[in-house]
Chain A
């Protein structure tokens, strides 16, 4: 126990470790050295977030180069790279990536818009809350992907269905988090706005929107992740294009390297979009002081 508290209690710790008892026991008041135990995470390292992913790739490389990795199960980074180069030179990768990005982007756009409009409506008016919040909380309990059979029945298997599935997942994430943040805006700020005779529009712009931005960004990050998830699923249902379709085809021809290229593409886009949202969040919410700095 005492070993866990080194600096502040150096006196007693020394005593227990068997130092001459008489000398330290009456040495007067305990002297603390250095600064106190740090409880926050400490200073940030530039690009520190990249260390984990880079390490993972290095491990993969090492395992495959040393022959520990059977290429029939998982191709090495080298062959994946050359396959990727082939796919790029034929234009197959770009075409598929572009169509996937379009689906995810459209789904995200519609989902974010719908989620935010619903959250603001439910958060600012009682009737909105009573009409919208219940159904949306129920919808939250049903995974969007579970709605797939119904959506295929209604919308067919075309682009419309694909974008709708993605948008649904995004919208629920956006709604839940934006609504939670919006309804927890300090009532004292509402009172302030009333005291300053702010109009509806100004109240929205100066109090409601900035006050619910933290939740909006939490929702956006979850929404971006869920849009990739939705994309992967819908692109394996009767698709004729997209990264998912490319991977599905590769599965039938047992091309694990093409599958890896697809996975890496998903991974890169997922990571990049999350990092993008994070960067915007840091900039927009610069007024906040948090544990992470």
Chain B
């Protein structure tokens, strides 16, 4: 399936559609009649300063905000997987049992093993989560998300807690897995470079509304030294209200 920059041309029903989505905490309105459409198989990154409502939007799309007041319409697919900043593996389940947690039907074990192999954790299925390194734990969490064959993958700063080297490897892995399985992805991040490197469309959330909707038209794998990469990056940094530094920063 080809990607549709900006999610403009699509015949299939959208993976995500929010219509006039409102979420408020007390008097503070966090999402202000937000409209968003994500096409099936589209890799979208969501940027925004802290407090801009990124996580609120993600939790709304994940339908995990039981106690939050709000209104608006929300259409999401049936199979949605989540990944969090912490790997959130249950410490009392072995890695494979964590991956297959909640999986129904026969062959769950085999599917779990395949998913572990895919994220490079073959042979670690009998390990306890605390025996894995931070990066490996996040890989296991990714396997748990993928084993459900999601139509939509929601990721809330999944690499935020990793060291720089591990993060680079995880970027490559996520993009590779995305290209193989093609779920729609909504990746919340505060890292502009990460957004431009991974996503085909970058949104900037500001004051509860989407202020920038930018299609990234670059072939993958992307190099941060590419001049056009720099252009996208500068555009987004400006949109985020950050003065552009003369040299690219890491992390």
Contact = CB atoms under 8 A, between A and B. Distances in A.
B91 A287 contact: yes
B140 to A, nearest CB: 13
Interface stretch (A47-55, A78-86, A189-197, A258-266): A189-197
A207 B102 CA distance: 11
A188 interface: yes
Given A188-B84, A289-B130, A206 B64 contact: no
B92 A195 contact: no
A198 interface: yes
Interface string A277-293: 00000000101110000
A202 interface: yes
A210 B90 contact: yes
B92 A202 contact: no
B64 A207 contact: no
A192 B88 contact: yes
B229 interface: no
Contacts of B93: 206, 210, 287
**Main secondary structure on A side of the interface with B:** helix
A206 B91 CA distance: 11
Q: How large is the interface on A (under 10, 10 to 19, 20 to 34, 35 or more residues)?
A: 20 to 34
Interface string A178-210: 000000000011011111111000100011001
A190 to B, nearest CB: 10
B101 A196 contact: yes
A287 B130 contact: yes
B178 interface: no
A195 B90 contact: no
A198 B92 contact: no
A287 B82 contact: no
B128 A191 contact: no
A215 interface: no
B62 interface: yes
Interface residues of B, number: 17
A76 interface: no
Interface string A206-239: 1100110100000000000000000000000000
A288 B102 CA distance: 23
Contacts of B90: 189, 192, 206-207, 210
B157 interface: no
A56 to B, nearest CB: 37
B144 to A, nearest CB: 8
A288 B84 contact: no
B229 to A, nearest CB: 33
Given A195-B64, A195-B82, A287-B130, A202 B102 contact: yes
Nearest to A207: B90
Contacts of A191: 64
A144 to B, nearest CB: 32
Contacts of A198: 101-102
A190 B81 CA distance: 15
A210 B92 contact: yes
A206 B97 CA distance: 10
Contacts of A202: 102
B86 interface: yes
B87 to A, nearest CB: 10
Contacts of B82: 192, 195
Interface in B112-141: 128, 130
A206 B86 contact: no
Contacts of B148: 196
Contacts of B101: 196, 198, 206
Interface of A: 188-189, 191-198, 202, 206-207, 210-211, 213, 285, 287-289
Given A198-B102, A206-B93, 16 more contacts: A188-B84, A188-B88, A189-B88, A191-B64, A192-B84, A194-B64, A195-B64, A195-B82, A196-B101, A196-B144, A196-B148, A198-B101, A202-B102, A210-B92, A210-B93, A287-B128
